[in-house]
Amino acid sequence: MNAHEIDYEIYGEEMQYVEIELDPQEAVVAEAGTFMMMDTDIQMNTIFGDGSNQDNSVLGKIFSAGKRVLTGESLFMTSFLNVGQGKKQVSFASPYPGKIVPIDLSEKGGKFICQKDAFLCAAKGVSVGIEFSKRLGRGFFGGEGFIMQKLEGDGLAFVHAGGTMAKKVLGPGEVLKVDTGCIVGFSQTVDYNIEFIGGIRNTVFGGEGLFFATLRGPGTVYIQSLPFSRLASRVWAAAPKGGGKDKGEGSILGGLGDLLDGDNRF
């Protein structure tokens, strides 16, 4: 085993957190901002890249960190190492309502592909990088669903699915069409591409994106009902406008009240 062997337990329903048990000298790496709590004798360090130690040279570390920049993540991750004598626990929390999904990479052929913001934490030794696509259509039209991360190794990794998570097992040649933002991740045997929805009415009046992802089996696909981008757009749309003077959601005037507000200037 290249990655550290860790034990875990997931707590909660809507706002979950994962508690990871570390033996002496075992470590876990996590995205910044996911840490929740830890026992004493756990040493927290900021590391350059993912800490997978596949290439210890300076150029290797720079390349490892550079892959994360391409996915929009930080150059750095946080490592939590048990420097004590007995078993210790460290916990990481979901960023918003949803489910934490454990992924055993040894059961996925050593590789799992996921959304760029789905990764939560993993046993030290798991490599976190960008999944390059050979199809130009994904790059130009994929939108939020194009930039995918790949998790490689033989250890445990944890990803987060917003809302309710659906697990689909596709047979050979079986196709699933998914909103690009609703993809959490899929096994490396799944072939994926981006397709144009088509039709002028769909494009102008449909209210959905112009493209969706097609996932072709065999393999396992994880789908989320609440992508963070969708959650953020709904929160922004419901936020009070007009200089902070909230008319109230149930107001008769509503948005019209903002237009008639004396503070507005045309």
Q: Tell me the mean pLDDT per 10 residues along the chain, length 266.
A: 86 93 95 92 85 55 53 73 96 93 94 90 90 56 61 94 94 93 93 72 49 90 87 77 55 48 48
- Exposed, middle or buried by CB within 10 Å (0-12, 13-18, 19+), for 185? buried
Judged by phi (left if over 0) then psi (alpha if -120 to 50, else beta), residue 10 lies in beta
Q: Which domains does the chain have, with CATH numbers?
A: 7-238 (3.60.160.10)
Per-residue pLDDT reduced to its tens digit, 187-216 = 999 998 887 765 545 444 444 456 788 999
Q: Which of 134, 2, 127, 155 is nearest to 65 (CA)?
A: 127
CB 148 within 8 A of CB 194: no
pTM of the model as a whole: 0.77
Q: Which amino acid is at 144?
A: E
Q: What gap in Å lies between CA 150 and CA 131, rounded to an integer?
A: 5
Residue 260 φ/ψ, nearest 5 degrees? -90, -5
Q: pLDDT, tens digit, for every residue of 132-143? A: 665 545 444 444
